[in-house]
């Protein structure tokens, strides 16, 4: 199993010792509180889970600008996306000050419970010019219609940086008990399975037959012992399939159509950035921290709309310094059903053309399922389509 990014062993920021955690929770009762953004809360969960190893907390402006500019922290650590705690000016009180300790509150759980304790290293005002620079570098656009740009722009202009101690995993452990796993836990499961080479598949969507076949092709080509299907469980843009529906559909597919003991189905607690190429590199970092040897990077990986070229998330890896990451990338092409080949193929490997392929847009799939129409079996297994159909019909009835 490959080592984590930036260290010999994982250094998750979750306080696992029960006595220490209780002591910190009691301390937090007398600390100033700060309600953080959903994005910052998700980053705290990722830090606590070991996915953001070896980071110790939130970045200051200089660190974030360096990461945005050249994907490097001042100490030379390769890192692709700034990890920041940005709040509105009116949220700050005189009790929140540099050198102090504060309690970070969870915006995604009723009652805003304690999520982490933070050592405040710096409180800095983010200028409009700095914000624009960060957005442009991370997302390759400043268009406010881009969901990641909009979320980043709405966070505020006060950057609070410093180390954190994570005290819970927000709603992920309770709402997704059978799926949410920390990087530590995934490493343990991979070791228990006796796998040395593992290929990871990132998804924020349900898996149809093309996704299934892409995983199997990648496993065969890199001679992997197993597949990690790793689904995002955090916040998505409107219209995306909710995590519980995705979870059910993926589990049904694996149960029926993958060989036994070849797949780990897990999820992680992060909000989607829709940052395309930069997010693909971030995905590689935390799959390395999970112990995976390969990550599948497919067509328009982590993209949205037409902000990125179809393979920009692959070509960005050509610009990463040698040795920056140990994980390797499996570059997937558009995977479709070919009527001539009578099977699912990657288009780059198929001698036929578009007239021979079965294409269904996301809109067409939604319309068919909402109307109770079965999807072609070449596109989706009926057991999976049935789960999605119930979801879309329920949405249509509520509209």
Residues with catalytic function: 204-205
State the SS3 of the chain. Answer: CCCCCCCCCCCCCECCCHHHHHHHHHHHCCCCEEECCHHHHHHHHHHHHCCCCCCCEECCHHHHHHHHHHCECCCCCECCCCCCCEECHHHCCCCCCCCCEEEEECCCCCCCCEEEEEECCEEEECCHHHHHHHHHHHHCCCCCCCHHHHHHHCCCCEEEEEEEEECCCCCHHHHCCCCECCHHHHHHHHHHHCCCCEEEEEECCCCCHHHHHHHHHHHHHHCCCEEEEEEECCCCCCCCCCHHHHHHHHHHHHHHHCCCCCEEEEEECCCCCCCCHHHHHHHHHHHHHHCCCEEEECCCCCCCCCCCCCCHHHHHHHHCCCCCCCCEEEECCCEEEECCCCEEEEHHHCCCCHHHEECCCHHHHHHHHHCCCCCCCCCCCHHHHHHHHHHHHHHHHHC
């Amino acid at each position: 199993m490959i080592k984590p990014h930036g260290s010999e062993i994982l250094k998750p920021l979750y306080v696992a010792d029960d006595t220490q955690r209780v002591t910190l929770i009691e301390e937090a009762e007398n600390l100033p509180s700060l309600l953080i953004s959903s994005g910052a809360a998700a980053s705290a969960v990722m830090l606590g889970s070991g996915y953001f190893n070896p980071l110790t907390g939130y970045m200051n402006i200089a660190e974030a600008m360096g990461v945005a500019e050249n994907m490097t922290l001042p100490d030379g650590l390769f890192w692709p996306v700034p990890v920041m705690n940005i709040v509105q000016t009116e949220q700050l009180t005189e009790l929140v000050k540099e050198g102090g300790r504060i309690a970070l509150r969870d915006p995604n759980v009723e009652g805003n419970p304690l999520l982490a304790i933070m050592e405040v290293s710096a409180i800095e005002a983010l200028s409009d010019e700095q914000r624009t620079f960060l957005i442009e570098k991370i997302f390759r656009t400043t268009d406010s219609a881009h969901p990641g740009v909009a979320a980043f722009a709405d966070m505020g202009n006060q950057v609070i940086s410093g180390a954190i101690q994570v005290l819970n995993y927000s709603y992920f452990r309770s709402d997704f008990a059978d799926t949410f796993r920390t990087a530590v836990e995934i490493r343990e499961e991979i070791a228990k399975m006796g796998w040395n080479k593992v290929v990871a598949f990132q998804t924020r969507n349900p898996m149809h037959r093309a996704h299934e076949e892409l995983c199997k092709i990648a496993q065969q080509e890199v001679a992997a012992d197993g597949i990690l299907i790793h689904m995002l469980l955090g916040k998505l843009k409107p219209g995306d399939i909710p995590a519980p529906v995705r979870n059910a559909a993926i589990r049904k597919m694996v149960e029926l159509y993958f060989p036994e003991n070849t797949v780990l189905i897990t999820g992680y607690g992060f909000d989607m950035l829709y940052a395309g190429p930069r997010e693909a590199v971030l995905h590689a970092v935390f799959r390395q921290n999970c112990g995976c040897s390969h990550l599948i990077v497919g067509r328009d990986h982590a993209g949205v709309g037409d902000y990125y070229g179809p393979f920009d998330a692959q070509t960005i890896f050509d610009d990463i310094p040698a040795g920056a990451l140990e994980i390797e990338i499996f570059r997937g092409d558009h995977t479709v059903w070919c009527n001539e080949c009578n099977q699912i193929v990657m288009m780059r490997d198929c001698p036929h053309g578009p007239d021979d392929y079965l294409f269904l847009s996301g809109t067409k799939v939604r319309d068919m399922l909402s109307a109770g129409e079965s999807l072609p079996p070449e596109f989706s297994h009926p057991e999976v389509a049935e789960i999605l159909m119930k979801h879309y019909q329920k949405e249509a009835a509520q509209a």
